[in-house]
């Protein structure tokens, strides 16, 4: 019976398959095979042995390894024994010169590499969707908000472009961290490579070339966990971007705002008791699971503070953190792609909110104009501030209130004030910025 929601509710088949037992076993076997071939290349084991190991190692089974582990209580030696059994006389060379974590950490490197490949694909898909929505809404003027309060106008296109730019930086980060985190090692019991002698570094380099991983420069019994901590922090950073987007969608879907809403199926149910509800459950799921991904950063950092050349406190922890963080990050990426694709924008509500304050949210525009045509900037700020407060208190249009100030009308006609209070006239370079981002980032999605 499934217990963890990853088994039945969250996660994509492709990312689950990276971290399932069978692939973990296969990755360990692949590392053993690569080691044998690297050692044969330098005459440390017979070439015929490497050939036989390559031919037959894949016949070893996870089930048999588990049987052996039940007897000897050592997972790595159980796999070594299971592979040895299917490789005939050449099995004697399996794991030659290696310590457990040479193979286990290298297998983790293979899994990280595959995980990053999948996440990169999803990030590029999300980026493409964000750029598309940004282009569609680049002239849709809306209320900017700071501190939860309506401010000067912005555009929905700029909002999507800002998110797109952030996702593009994650793609850049992924490219930069890949050689640091998708790594393997063959360094022996305490990192000296004594078991392989002077050929140790060359064997490790060749082994990693076979596996398409970066070799460590130096290590002790295991790969230093600052590398893995960077991987987890990257996942947490990606998850936080998705959390940010989800929060904005949820906020804009509030009944009182009503500017955006998740796609809602014709038969979808929003509440078991309130039939009218259309809840942003996908964005809420993303925000909730992002908390779990971020929670993996602390144990990842602590896993780097091991005793001397190593202890075993990282092992049990990583059996949980790697699958959970990787699978959940991939999952919420997939969810957010669909959310952004289907999110509905209600222009009528966007306009209603933009005009809600009857021009008070355009106070900056008037202040800038008054300063430009002769008033001291600080005086202009205070004049418009006092007029804005009065307009809010009396629930009157700012144009009406500020036109009662002779020092303002002496510089600016009522017609000009009306122009200054039109939101569509005060979006600066927003459209240009969106078009620039689209030109710059479209190639990243390819």
Neighbours of 412 (CB within 10 A): 22
Tell the residue number behind the tokens 């904005």, with chain if given: 248
Element of type H or E holding 378: helix 377-394
Residues 6 or more apart in contact with residue 119 via CB below 8 angstroms:
174, 235, 238, 326, 329, 330, 333
- Position of tokens 């930069």? 176
Cα separations (Å) of 59 from 26, 65, 252, 323?
A: 10, 12, 55, 25
* Structure tokens, 192: 């000296």
C-alpha count within 13 angstroms, C-beta hemisphere, residue 407:
12
- Catalytic member of 17, 61, 271, 326: 271
Residue in 241, 242, 261, 264 with CA at minimum distance from that of residue 251: 261
- DSSP for 201-214, please give it: HHHHHHHHHHHT-E
Is 271 a catalytic site residue? Answer: yes
Helices (H), 253-312: 281-295, 297-302
Residue holding tokens 């792609």?
337
The SS3 of residue 228 is: helix
Q: Which of 147, 266, 272, 276 is catalytic?
A: 147
In order, the DSSP letters of 392-438 are: HHHT--HHHHHTT-HHHHTTS-HHHHHHHT-GGG--TTHHHHHHHHH
Instruction: Compute the CA torsion angle 175, 181, 185, 190 (nearest 10 deg).
Output: 150
- Residues 131, 159: contact at Cβ < 8 Å? no
Q: Which two tokens stand for residue 162?
A: 């800002």
Residue 147 falls in the annotated catalytic set: yes
Residues designated catalytic: 147, 271
């Amino acid at each position: 019976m499934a217990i963890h929601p990853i088994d039945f509710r969250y996660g994509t088949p492709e990312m689950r398959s990276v971290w399932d037992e069978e692939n973990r076993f296969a990755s360990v076997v692949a590392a053993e095979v690569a080691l044998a071939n690297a050692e044969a290349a330098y005459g440390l084991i017979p070439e015929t042995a490497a050939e036989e190991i390559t031919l037959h190692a894949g016949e070893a089974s996870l089930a048999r390894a588990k049987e052996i582990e039940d007897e000897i209580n050592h997972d790595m030696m159980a796999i070594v024994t299971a592979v040895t059994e299917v490789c005939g006389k050449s099995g004697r060379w399996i794991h030659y010169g290696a310590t457990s974590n040479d193979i286990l950490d290298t297998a983790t490197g293979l899994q990280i590499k595959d995980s990053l490949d999948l996440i990169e694909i999803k990030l590029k898909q999300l980026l493409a969707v964000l750029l598309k929505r940004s282009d569609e809404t680049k002239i849709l003027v809306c209320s900017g908000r700071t501190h939860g309060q309506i401010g000067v106008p912005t555009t929905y296109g700029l909002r999507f472009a800002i998110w797109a730019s952030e996702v593009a930086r994650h793609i850049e980060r992924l490219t930069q961290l890949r050689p640091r985190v998708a790594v393997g090692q063959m360094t022996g019991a305490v990192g000296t490579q004594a078991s392989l002698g002077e050929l140790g570094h060359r064997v490790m380099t060749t082994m990693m070339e076979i596996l398409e991983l970066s070799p460590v420069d130096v290590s002790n019994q295991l790969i230093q966990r600052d590398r893995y901590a960077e991987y987890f922090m990257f996942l947490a950073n990606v998850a936080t971007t998705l959390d940010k987007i989800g929060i904005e969608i949820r906020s804009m879907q509030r009944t009182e705002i009503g500017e955006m809403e998740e796609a809602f199926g014709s038969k979808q149910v929003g509440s078991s008791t309130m039939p009218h509800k259309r809840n942003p459950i996908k964005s809420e799921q993303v925000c909730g699971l992002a908390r779990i991904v971020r929670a993996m950063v602390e144990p990842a950092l602590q896993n780097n503070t091991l005793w001397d050349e190593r202890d075993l406190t990282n092992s049990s922890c990583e059996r949980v953190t790697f699958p959970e963080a990787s699978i959940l990050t991939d999952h919420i990426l997939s969810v957010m792609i669909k959310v952004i694709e289907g999110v509905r924008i209600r222009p009528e509500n966007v306009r209603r909110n933009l005009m809600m304050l009857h021009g008070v949210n355009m106070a900056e525009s008037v202040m800038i104009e008054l300063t430009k045509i002769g008033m001291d900037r600080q005086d202009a700020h205070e004049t418009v501030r006092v007029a804005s407060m009065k307009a809010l208190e009396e629930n009157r249009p700012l144009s009406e209130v500020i036109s009662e100030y002779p020092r303002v009308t002496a510089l600016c006609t009522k017609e000009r004030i009306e122009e200054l209070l039109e939101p569509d006239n005060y979006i600066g370079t927003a459209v240009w910025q969106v078009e620039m981002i689209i030109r710059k980032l479209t190639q990243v999605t390819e």
